[in-house]
Chains A and B, each alone.
Chain A
Amino acid sequence: MRARSRREFLRVASGATAGMASWLALGRAPAFAQKRELTFLSWNHFVPKSDDELRKQAEAFGKQAGVTVRVDTIAHLQLDAKFAAEAQSQSGHDMIRTHGAVPFVYENALADVGDLVDKLGKQYGGWYPFAAEIGQTGSGWRAVPWFWISFPATYNQAHFKKAGLETPRTWAELLKHGKILKKQGNPVGIPISHCSDTHSTYWSVAWSYGAKVLEADGKTPAINSDKTAEVVEWYKELFKEAMEPEVLSWDDASNNRFILSGKGSWIHNPISPYNAALANKQPIADDINHHNSPAGPAGTHSGPPILGLAIWKFSKNVELAKEFIQFLYRKENFDAWIVASNAFNHPPLRHFADHPIWARNPKFAMLPKEAEFAHARGWPGKPNDAVGRVESNYVLADMVAKAVGGMPTKRAMEWAQDQVARAVKGQLKA
């Protein structure tokens, strides 16, 4: 009995192996999956319904074009390593979702999408300049701006009411209010750690104080300045008087938990905590509200995350991918996708920005205004790969963390200046 079952097992196993071998030898998937396939590597959206809508549209496009469209989503922090692997091995997905300086770092590996950018821009009232910049490298367009994520203030209005406070209009006022709120047991929270929200807030605060990281030429380090010193001093005081030390260990989700736990009173963050509270029917959704990013002595500025769509040069489906991108930008599709994200995905094209979803909800009404003072990272210079390295090496976060931890501000800035210079020195030759 035992012998026979073993033989049977071997027969089945060898059959399976042979089948596998012929499949591998042919270099293609078995017959049922032989339809032409377009693949897209994206992130796990912070509002999951947005990905559901994306997959739905991908399927609709697939049906129409007679192909299969596969959308793979992974955690946002893992995208960089995956991109590196795909660019290096010249294989993988056809399309990727870019962030930060990805179009610049991979300038040589991404296909030109200038025709598409032109066409869509003309069709829908033009691109917001700050959003368009993230795709335009020295040698042409490497990404189609897809959406940007407004980075306003998210606050708990019950805590503010209890303290008898209005929402802060300036970063200095936030410090003043924060001290009172912390005494009340409801500190404010801005991460000073190895996470991407740290960057987003740092750029906003620094610009509001007139500080820069690089000069307008995009290659002269400019972080060691009196303006930056003001920013760092502001961070130091906020850390000591209005926040908890936990901000030194935060990741991108920590501030969401902080406000949703009911403890925190104010965070600098997109509307995802509010959307999460709504989706999970948490009563705290009623207390959460938003207001525009605060101003500083040099005005209001914001450095929202701006994401793009890019196509690998090695892809055999470049034209098909372009068709798919155009399909996603059809008015009805883009609108449906904004709705699915519950106002989280902001369009980089002016005509799409008129969507009523923002005006309809008083808690969202001020969000489109963020576009008026948004810049791509690296401003007043154009974005480039050196800016990307400053971020991926967490130079801004570490400079502030060092100062907060007791290093004299001057020395922390000198350290950052050295790191920025190193990021520039390694600059990519296109």
Chain B
Amino acid sequence: MAVGSRAFEAAGLGPTGRLARVHEWWEQEHVFGYGLILPALLLLACLVAYPFGMAIYFSLSDYWVGSPGAFVGLANYREILGNEVFRQTVQNSFVFTAIALTFKTVLGVWLALLLARNLRFKRLLRGAVLLPWVIPTALSTLGWWWMFDSLYSVVNWTALRLGLMSPPGPNWLGQAGYAMAAVIAVNVWRGLPFFAITVLAGLVSIPREYYEAAEVDGAGSWGRFRHVTLPLLKPVLAVVILFSTIFTFSDFNIVYVLTRGGPVNSTHLFATLAYQVGLNGGNLGQGAAISLFLFPMLAAVVFMQLRYIRKE
């Protein structure tokens, strides 16, 4: 491999004397290769590994903001597991992720199928679909918050006028079930474009011939979807679902803006509870322990899905 020397030549540095020795050293494949990865590794170490290590250390100490802490072993984990609020948060997180993900998958594939058709204004539509994904979450969620407002809810106003609800209509952010429905709805609205556009890319890459062959064999539109589209979409879907599981589990903005975990902690997720306990309450140790609970779960999800993708 003489990539290194080419790089030197390109830079106009001929190999002379001491420089030549450096050049020779640099030219070795293992040095040059690792040299190329080094910046990325450094970034990962500083921005991912270091905070992660700190979080583990915090979770094992009684660290408070502004004051040093001592090692306390697993006391923080025992404490949060014994706390009803945390147990409820675990349950909320699973309900939230499972329902939101199901909706995003089904609606995402559906939307992608629609977008794949030869519609008029195709480009415009595809661009418009991405909007919820592009607008900063905190901003768009504020819009939703206003729509769910107890006094001026445009959702209730519309539904009442259309006769779909009886007055006064649901109290979206004040009742446990409705509040969960509201945060899930906003999460689905926000995450849908990511699903639709990625699945659309998968759809476009399926060769037309398969459909033609299926049609010749007498497959209807459902049959074509079931036996051609879906199996060929599987790898793409697996990746999208993998990413979305991570994003959904660790969601913060939507819940923080809409409900702050209320009413009565019925919409708290790991991230919002960790924020409340660790930053607002100052208990960094417990906050870190709460957010680290995400890690083994997400690691398991990633492991299973990556194995599945490899098998495919």
Which positions in A face B, CB cutoff 8 Å? 80-81, 83-85, 87-88, 105-109, 193-195, 244-251, 254, 257-258, 261, 263, 385, 388-389, 392-394, 397-398, 401-402, 405, 415, 418-419, 422, 425-426, 428-429
The stretch among B37-45, B228-236, B274-282 that forms the contact with chain A is B274-282
Contact at B263–A248, with CB atoms within 8 Å? yes
Give A243 Cβ to nearest chain B Cβ, in Å: 11
Q: Mark B59-103, 1 if CB is under 8 A from A, else 0.
A: 000101111000000000001000111000000000000000000
Contact at B150–A250, with CB atoms within 8 Å? yes
Knowing A81-B279, A194-B260, A394-B262 touch, does A248 contact B66 (C-beta < 8 A)? no
Contacts of B5 in A (CB 8 A): none
**Which of the listed residues B174, B175, B278 has the most CB atoms from chain A within 10 Å of its own CB?**
B174
Contacts of A385 in B (CB 8 A): 282
Contact at B175–A426, with CB atoms within 8 Å? no
Can you list 16 A-B contacts with CB-CB less than 8 angstroms, sorted by A residue number?
A81-B279, A84-B279, A88-B65, A105-B65, A108-B67, A109-B66, A193-B262, A244-B168, A249-B173, A249-B174, A257-B151, A393-B276, A394-B261, A401-B264, A426-B62, A426-B283
Q: Which applies to chain B's interface (DSSP): helix, strand, loop or mixed?
A: loop
Contacts of A393 in B (CB 8 A): 85, 276-277, 281
Contacts of A251 in B (CB 8 A): 260
Give B91 Cβ to nearest chain A Cβ, in Å: 16
Among A87, A109, A254, A402, contact of B151 (Cβ-Cβ < 8 Å):
A254
Contacts of A193 in B (CB 8 A): 174, 262-263
Q: Which applies to chain A's interface (DSSP): helix, strand, loop or mixed?
A: helix
Contact at A249–B83, with CB atoms within 8 Å? no
Contact at A428–B67, with CB atoms within 8 Å? yes
Q: Report the bound CA distance from A404 to B277 in whole Å.
A: 25
Contacts of A263 in B (CB 8 A): 151
Contact at B264–A392, with CB atoms within 8 Å? no
Give A255 Cβ to nearest chain B Cβ, in Å: 10
- Considering the complex, give the chain A residue whose CB is closest to the CB of B62: A426
**Which of the listed residues A246, A250, A425 has the most CB atoms from chain B within 10 Å of its own CB?**
A246
Contact at A388–B174, with CB atoms within 8 Å? no
Give A394 Cβ to nearest chain B Cβ, in Å: 7
Among A105, A246, A388, A389, contact of B66 (Cβ-Cβ < 8 Å):
A105
Q: Report the bound CA distance from A261 to B153 in whole Å.
A: 14
Contacts of B62 in A (CB 8 A): 426
Q: Mark B124-167, 1 if CB is under 8 A from A, else 0.
A: 00000000000000000000000000111000000000000000
Q: Report the bound CA distance from A289 to B281 in whole Å.
A: 36
Q: Report the bound CA distance from A388 to B283 in whole Å.
A: 11
Knowing A388-B282, A393-B281, A426-B286 touch, does A105 contact B264 (C-beta < 8 A)? no
List the 5 closest A-B pairs by CB distance, nearest first: A246-B150, A249-B174, A109-B66, A248-B174, A87-B66
- Considering the complex, give the chain B residue whose CB is closest to the CB of A109: B66
Q: Report the bound CA distance from A109 to B174 in whole Å.
A: 38
Contacts of B261 in A (CB 8 A): 194, 394
Contact at A109–B262, with CB atoms within 8 Å? no
Contact at A247–B174, with CB atoms within 8 Å? yes
Contacts of A246 in B (CB 8 A): 150-151, 171, 174
Contact at B66–A249, with CB atoms within 8 Å? no
Tell whether B265 is near chain A: CB-to-CB under 8 Å.
yes
Contacts of B270 in A (CB 8 A): none
Give B142 Cβ to nearest chain A Cβ, in Å: 12
Contact at B171–A249, with CB atoms within 8 Å? yes
Give B167 Cβ to nearest chain A Cβ, in Å: 12
Contact at B263–A109, with CB atoms within 8 Å? no
Q: Report the bound CA distance from A254 to B265 in whole Å.
A: 19
Tell whether B172 is near chain A: CB-to-CB under 8 Å.
yes
B252-276 contacts to A, CB under 8 A, are 259-265, 275-276
Knowing A105-B64, A428-B64 touch, does A422 contact B264 (C-beta < 8 A)? no
Q: Report the bound CA distance from A193 to B263 in whole Å.
A: 6
Among A81, A109, A418, contact of B67 (Cβ-Cβ < 8 Å):
A109
